[in-house]
């Protein structure tokens, strides 16, 4: 009798655990291979000693969803307009790519985080090295939010923080990392029927 009871309990537990393995389908609004294109303006700080270098420039980006809310991103930034007289000799251009995670959990507001690697070209004021231009590979970390406005259009606000390594400092005489950083404002267009979902 005890053996029959134990067998019955075992069968019941196995059938319950098997039933618990049923998982509902994912309901992400980011369809596989969904394309997004965007553009706008940067307002960045140049990380140049006490020189107050804050400049504007155009920016553009593209993303392709690879899995659920994870996409690959390619984008470019620039700093080339505005600022004070000291800033007029400072121009910064970047291009890179990496991964971006965009959460659709918050509906119309969709926060994102990104990590990229790229290449940058920097024209700068004199740092007593005899040259006024440097270029280097860079790393970028950033985040922000996209907000559904109408149809397939999404307002985009982001922040990026660059790591430009091995830059020679005229103050310390050492090589260190510059950190240009700032905000991006613009619009994204998400293609396809899921582009208007939130």
Q: How many helices (H) and strands (E) does the chain have?
A: 1, 9
Whether 49 maps to a domain, the answer reads yes
The DSSP H or E segment spanning 183 is strand 181-190
Q: Residue 136 is part of a domain; what is its CATH number?
A: 2.40.160.20
Whether 18 maps to a domain, the answer reads no
Instruction: Tell me the C-alpha to C-alpha distance, in Å, between residue 158 and each of 41, 84, 168, 186, 198.
Output: 11, 24, 29, 9, 19
Domains identified in the chain, total number: 1
CB 175 within 8 A of CB 84: no
Taking Cα atoms as reference points, which of 123, 43, 26 lies closest to residue 77? 43
- The neighbouring-strand residues paired with 116 are 98, 140
Whether 190 maps to a domain, the answer reads yes
Whether 13 maps to a domain, the answer reads no
- The neighbouring-strand residues paired with 7 are none
Whether 70 maps to a domain, the answer reads yes
Whether 24 maps to a domain, the answer reads no
Q: pLDDT tens digit string along 153-190?
A: 999 999 999 999 988 666 667 788 889 999 999 999 99
Q: pLDDT tens digit string along 12-70?
A: 444 434 444 433 345 577 888 999 999 999 999 988 766 668 899 999 999 999 999 99
- Tell whether the torsion through CA atoms of 171, 177, 183 and 186 is positive or negative: positive
Whether 20 maps to a domain, the answer reads no
The model carries a pTM of: 0.81
Q: Domain containing 55: what range?
A: 29-196
Q: pLDDT tens digit string along 120-158?
A: 999 887 766 677 888 999 999 999 999 999 999 999 999
Whether 174 maps to a domain, the answer reads yes
Taking Cα atoms as reference points, which of 63, 68, 144 lies closest to residue 99? 63
Distance of CA 105 to the CA centre of its chain: 18
């Amino acid at each position: 009798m005890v053996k029959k009871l134990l067998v019955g309990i075992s069968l019941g537990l196995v059938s319950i655990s098997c039933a618990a393995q049923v998982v509902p389908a994912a309901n992400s609004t980011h369809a596989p291979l969904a394309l997004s294109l965007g553009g706008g303006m940067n307002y960045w700080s140049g990380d140049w000693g006490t020189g107050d270098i804050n400049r504007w420039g155009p920016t553009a980006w593209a993303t392709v969803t690879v899995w659920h809310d994870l996409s690959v991103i390619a984008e470019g930034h620039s700093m080339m307009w505005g600022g004070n007289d000291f800033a007029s000799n400072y121009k910064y251009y970047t291009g890179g790519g990496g991964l971006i995670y965009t959460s659709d959990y918050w509906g119309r507001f969709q926060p994102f985080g990104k990590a990229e690697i790229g290449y940058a070209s920097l024209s700068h004021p004199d740092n007593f090295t005899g040259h006024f231009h440097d270029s280097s590979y860079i790393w970028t970390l950033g985040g922000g939010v996209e907000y559904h406005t109408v149809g397939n259009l999404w307002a985009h606000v982001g922040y990026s923080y660059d790591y430009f390594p091995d830059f020679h400092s005229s103050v310390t005489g050492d090589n260190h990392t510059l950190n240009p950083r700032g905000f991006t404002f613009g619009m994204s267009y998400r293609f396809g029927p899921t582009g208007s979902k939130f």
